[in-house]
Chain A
């Protein structure tokens, strides 16, 4: 396990469908973050977990979005009733709280296209 992994890498769905993404952080990283990146923009923070607790949610995370990290390891991000505006790259990052640096390590992302 050398990095953050995300699945699927690409998802194409029709408007109104539900989608779920998975993120597996670096082993023993207790903090996990979700970001959204649209074309030509930097990633924008959505939410983060410390172990299994979801400690912060951005106002960007509408009621149609829900994230979980049930056992403090992998996390899922679900979008219900997808809209075309949800099309973006969804990035997951993790960080080790015991590390001396504040660096977050990113996965390859899940690219969502809503038709």
Chain B
């Protein structure tokens, strides 16, 4: 079993829809959670990060962490065609060398 599970999709939504992307994890040592966006043939670009359980909002993006359920989510409001990309959840323990463990990524397509 992988430490981080993420539905690979693909997920197709119409423009303007609310998108929900999710990951589950098994390692309770994970304390720091990130979402990266990766366009085709590009490196991952950091979208959001959070240390704690609860919600964190940045513009159209909201990251949610539930440590008790080992479940994290990324919500995208008013989705745009430019949001079409692969979204990777990532996590790491605090301290130490902090190797980042990634999910497999969810491919999102926003249709105009």
Identify the A interface with B (CB < 8 A). 4, 6, 31, 33, 35, 40-45, 48, 50, 55-56, 89, 91, 93, 95, 101-109, 111
Contact = CB atoms under 8 A, between A and B. Distances in A.
A42 B43 contact: no
B102 A43 contact: yes
Contact of B104 (A41, A93, A103, A109): A41
Contacts of A41: 104-105
B88 A42 contact: yes
Contacts of B81: none
B41 interface: yes
Given A40-B8, A91-B44, A108-B42, A103 B97 contact: no
Nearest to A55: B97
Interface in B25-74: 32, 34, 36, 41-46, 49
A103 B34 contact: yes
B98 A42 contact: no
Contact of B97 (A56, A106, A107): A56
- Grouping DSSP codes into helix (H, G, I), strand (E, B) and loop, the A interface class, with mixed when no group exceeds half, is strand
A109 B46 CA distance: 15
Contacts of B4: 42
Contacts of A50: 97
B92 interface: yes
Given A40-B8, A42-B102, A43-B102, A108 B34 contact: no
A25 B97 CA distance: 17
Contact of B42 (A4, A40, A48, A109): A109
Contacts of A6: 43
A40 B90 CA distance: 15
